[in-house]
Amino acid sequence: MTFLTIGHRGVMGVEPENTLRSFVRAERSGMDVIALDLQLSKDGVLVVLHDAEVDRTTDGSGAVADLTLAALRELDAGRGERVPVFEEVLDAVRTPLQVSVQDGPTAAALAELVLRRDLSARLEVASFSDEVLAEAARLLPGVRSCLYADRHLGHRRTIVDRALAVGAHTAALNIRELTLDTVESVHAAGLRVTGWTVNTLQQLRVARALELDGAATDFPEIRSTGRFIA
């Protein structure tokens, strides 16, 4: 079974997260997939940021939705890096992408870009939101999708029920909360299951023991170490 190594926001353990520098290093490190996060600027441009605010990851402050692209480009996202426009990432790396969106307008903007540039085969849409993934499936029939889930969110339905209802192909779960029973039930439904975030050798051993299909990591070293884990 192929075990996918997913670069979490690039390789954010060693480079500024969600920057071109981080994505390029993830690709050079041999990551199988690069995971990133999208937000919409005030003027409707898809930019790569995890948080709804810029405070944590840049030297600026305020909500992404209140800042134009020009204003966002003035910010330092770490080591002199600028907040990337998503299309810049598409041009900078060739590694398959897992693209996280958390609201309907961002999903709609992504769908328009995917259709315009014929990107369906190149990326997977991911979200913690069932509604967003259902909308992505409607706008992009056949696109691969991944439902992120955390037991603390309080959903009554099982992860399998939720994933099947929105047409997801993969369930991504917190490695600290995964059990073999959960993994087996997801696999029995014909879905893939991955873990996040795997940053230690012990966590990698757990991921392998659970027979996960892959894991997200902050560190490029996990990629090379993983080849030697049975």
Residue 80 has pLDDT above 70, yes or no: yes
- The separation between CA 103 and the C-alpha centre of its own chain, rounded to angstroms, equals 14
130 burial level (CB within 10 Å; 0-12, 13-18, 19+): middle
C-beta of residue 118 within 8 angstroms of C-beta of residue 57: no
Per-residue pLDDT at 62: 98
Query: Average model confidence (pLDDT) for the chain?
Result: 94
Residue 167 CB coordination number (10 Å): 17
The pair of structure tokens assigned to 67 is: 């800042």
List the domain range (segments joined by +) for residue 118: 4-226
Domain count for the chain: 1
pTM of the model: 0.95
Lookup result for tokens 């060693």: 14
C-beta of residue 196 within 8 angstroms of C-beta of residue 216: yes
The pair of structure tokens assigned to 26 is: 């993830």
Sign of the dihedral through C-alpha 203, 185, 122, 36: negative
Q: How confident is the model at residue 188 (pLDDT cuts 50, 70, 90)?
A: very high
120-155 pLDDT, tens digit per residue, is 999 999 999 999 999 999 999 999 999 999 865 456
Query: Whose CA is closest to 18, among 95, 84, 71?
Result: 84
Q: What is the CATH number of the domain that holds 87?
A: 3.20.20.190
**Mean predicted confidence (pLDDT) in 182-190:** 96
48-69 pLDDT, tens digit per residue, is 999 999 999 999 999 999 999 9
Strand ranges for the chain from DSSP E: 4-8, 33-40, 46-48, 97-100, 123-127, 144-149, 170-174, 192-196, 214-217
Per-residue pLDDT at 228: 38
Per-residue pLDDT at 226: 55
> Beta partners for 68?
none
**Mean predicted confidence (pLDDT) in 218-222:** 93
Please give the Cα distance from 136 to 124 (Å, whole number): 10
